[in-house]
Amino acid sequence: MIIAERKPMEEIQKAMAPYRKVLVAGCGTCVTVCWVGGEKEAEILASQLRLARSREGNEIVALNATVERQCEREMATELKREVAEVDAILSLACGAGAQTIAALFEDKPVFPAVNTAFIGMPEEEGLWVEMCGACGDCFLDRTGGICPMVRCGKGLLNGPCGGTRRGGKCEIDPDNDCAWVLVYRRLERQGRLDLMREYYTPKNFRAIKRPGRIQATRA
């Protein structure tokens, strides 16, 4: 899922300074799971904005509403009534959700309240780990389901490097396991260590078209 972190309150306050009525828009999917932008977080941020502005003697009307997914137009449209009442929108969704809101309501300025960090998974309560860089050329089948693009500190496609520490730790961050040691162990368990002898050409990021577009076909 997409992992995000909320922007500093000072940055959010500065962005909202020119506006008297704002909508704090939450998203009920990824950012809810990582405790950043769900219904509860939208309510808290709206309350924080009102309190901060009250202390300055400059009142603000901060509404809050949450849809299931801001990145889907049909769901984002559910905010139409609230958007009509405000001067600006503060989106707690990922970059895709914020852009969807901006495209739907072009006459209202949209501000991101979070920084979209990475695609990851929960490792333990309150801790998410980056797992995928969305590179557009997945080769997890050749690395035992472990992505060295993001899990290797150097992003090596042919590893491990010469700096792997004792115990299979990364030389850049000794708290992390070396991705290529993990790959080796996984492939060893599967009886597929021959894949470690293959050479993978460096990623040609220039070949990845931007913006990406995928047209699904029905079976």
Residues 1, 38: Cα–Cα separation, whole Å? 14
In this structure, are 144 and 95 located in the same domain? no
Provide Rg for the chain, Cα atoms: 22
How far is Cα of residue 212 from the mean position of the Cα atoms in its chain?
Answer: 17
214 is a domain residue: no
| The domain boundary residue, chosen from 62, 94, 118 | 118
In this structure, are 9 and 97 located in the same domain? yes
In this structure, are 16 and 88 located in the same domain? yes
Q: Contact at 8 Å (CB) between 131 and 110?
A: no
Residues 62, 67: Cα–Cα separation, whole Å? 17
Q: What tokens were used for 36?
A: 């950043």
Residues 87, 97: Cα–Cα separation, whole Å? 19
126 is a domain residue: no
Q: Count of domains in the chain?
A: 2
Domain span at residue 159 reads 133-205
In this structure, are 73 and 180 located in the same domain? no
- Predicted confidence (pLDDT) per residue in 80-131, tens digit: 999 999 999 999 999 999 999 999 999 999 999 999 999 998 888 888 888 9
217 is a domain residue: no
DSSP string, 87-102: SEEEE-S-HHHHHHHH
CATH at residue 99 = 3.40.50.2300
In this structure, are 138 and 193 located in the same domain? yes
In this structure, are 155 and 96 located in the same domain? no
125 is a domain residue: no
In this structure, are 45 and 96 located in the same domain? yes
In this structure, are 24 and 98 located in the same domain? yes
In this structure, are 80 and 162 located in the same domain? no
Mean pLDDT over the full length of the chain: 90
In this structure, are 92 and 141 located in the same domain? no
Task: For residue 30, give Cα distances in angstroms to 126, 141, 196.
Answer: 14, 26, 34
219 is a domain residue: no
In this structure, are 48 and 154 located in the same domain? no
**61: confidence class by pLDDT, cuts 50, 70, 90:** very high
| pTM of the predicted protein model | 0.83
210 is a domain residue: no
- Predicted confidence (pLDDT) per residue in 148-204, tens digit: 989 999 999 998 898 888 889 999 988 889 999 999 999 999 999 999 999 988 877
In this structure, are 114 and 8 located in the same domain? yes
Strands (E), 125-194: 127-132
123 is a domain residue: no
Q: How many other CB atoms sit within 10 Å of the CB of residue 198?
A: 8
